[in-house]
Chain A
């Protein structure tokens, strides 16, 4: 279990992390989500003692990281897959980790197999690795000591879709066996697919947290995207019921559930050609919650 209590980190007058508290539970994958520069990395760096906190503290399983003996055996850390010596081979990087933790060299081969890096690839120097290969190596490094807690910063960054699916399966399985997983991302759909719990952070502050359902319930009224053979008539019928709507592409975006839109169309005798859920998805929520903290302001598809 990772427990963050009242954590604040300031740099001069700038507050990178502003009094945040949350818990990452064992047996669950906790997603740490926020736009770039929101404070995710700073929080994770404080967790493993690389950055001293200005106030507050983080404990892992009840211990401050610094007090955990041979911490690699308990906490797997991947903060930046590129933060390895470019001149070392992948295998050598894992060997140094294994030696430091006091693990047999056979563990290196096991981990290479686990992340599907071939023996030939493992002998290449890191500077010749693609970002996806570096991420796989970084995940292998984090898992070396068979830890019960995983802290991963943007682990899916650079992975191809098959790689992301692989990682999802890996982390789910890891949590199902009782492990604690905290992973960060600035991409909502990545986290949405993997995480059981989500913590949304924007400009150093936690703006929402909970499981997916709780967060969706917070999102307010759902909207619907609809296209029909007579959009003008449909719009008139909906407005007649006092339902707000706007034109969206070839159709309408209606501030009502799909069932209400369908019923109105039926009553008005209008043929629908497309009717689907139009938001209040997590993406809407994410953008809304972080909109005042986004650099660009609210932009459609900004999380893509």
Chain B
């Protein structure tokens, strides 16, 4: 019966193990499986609808990817939000942080898990888009396709996932985070469009305005300029990076109930 605990023989929990546990948590409830299924299913559905209504010459890879980005942009962040907020709404944070007291590691593991799922969704979208393009029979289906399109599409998806995580971390409440995620950018866009002196600087401050050229670039109609990239950077900083940092700080200080 020793008064001290010998912990010298115990290894720290490896980060990869925390990531795999977080991935498991996204799919081990009925709600989680439905969400994952919905992301793949609705992406495919959007592409099928586009496939049926579009002329054969419009059935090019870039268009299919552009179509896929819409439902994924809606649903992937919800996945990120739930990964964080369900720990509070279901109160599992008490168990999670008791087993892994380093909150930084847990948040990082959740972030990596959400990004892995974002990459998986991207891969699924690329696969379905390629299949649709081949079946679509457009003569130049893969014409003008550059690595940039892939990278930008992936970056866009991952940024929205991070945005969801950020709002989840700040609010720690599922409905509030989901509503904020959907309403705030719309409200911002409206404000920046309506207020005259703001509309000029909108691309620098409004996320939706800054991301607009991205979507058009998927169709190959427009190439992004250096200014576009800079605007994507500033809006990502304001809407995604800073909220993420604030949310991280909040969880570090929060009393886990």
Contact = CB atoms under 8 A, between A and B. Distances in A.
Contacts of A45: 255-256
Interface string B1-41: 11111110011110001101100110011111000000000
Secondary structure of the B side of the interface?
A: loop
A74 to B, nearest CB: 6
Nearest to A50: B256
Interface in A80-123: 80, 82-88, 92, 96-97, 99-102
Interface stretch (A61-69, A155-163, A240-248, A259-267): A61-69
Contacts of B11: 69-70
Contacts of A102: 13, 17
A52 interface: yes
A51 B256 contact: yes
A61 B94 contact: no
B7 A69 contact: yes
B85 to A, nearest CB: 12
A92 B28 contact: yes
A49 interface: yes
A71 interface: yes
B94 A96 contact: no
A262 to B, nearest CB: 44
B154 to A, nearest CB: 29
A88 B25 CA distance: 9
B10 A70 contact: yes
Contacts of B17: 99-100, 102
B97 interface: yes
A28 to B, nearest CB: 9
For chain B, the bracket of interface size reads: 35 or more
Nearest to B31: A87
A100 B105 CA distance: 13
Interface in B96-110: 97-102
Nearest to A27: B1
A80 B101 contact: no
A62 B81 CA distance: 38
B12 A96 contact: no
Interface string B226-257: 00000000000000000000000000000110
A86 B3 CA distance: 38
B12 A70 contact: yes
Secondary structure of the A side of the interface?
A: loop
B3 A74 contact: no
A71 to B, nearest CB: 6
A1 interface: yes
Contacts of A83: 90-92, 94-95
Given A69-B12, A79-B94, A102-B17, A61 B5 contact: yes
Contacts of A73: 10
Contact of B4 (A1, A79, A86, A141): A1
A70 B17 CA distance: 12
Given A61-B3, A63-B5, A87-B30, A71 B21 contact: no
B98 A77 contact: yes
Nearest to B32: A87
A100 B10 contact: no
Interface in B144-190: none
Contacts of B25: 96
Interface of B: 1-7, 10-13, 17-18, 20-21, 24-25, 28-32, 86, 90-92, 94-95, 97-102, 255-256
What 7 pairs between A and B have smallest CB-CB spacing?
A61-B5, A87-B29, A83-B91, A62-B4, A26-B1, A50-B256, A85-B90
8 contacts: A26-B3, A45-B256, A48-B101, A49-B97, A61-B2, A61-B3, A73-B10, A100-B100
Given A49-B98, A70-B10, 15 more contacts: A26-B3, A49-B101, A51-B256, A63-B7, A66-B102, A68-B101, A69-B11, A71-B98, A73-B10, A74-B7, A82-B91, A84-B92, A85-B90, A87-B30, A87-B31
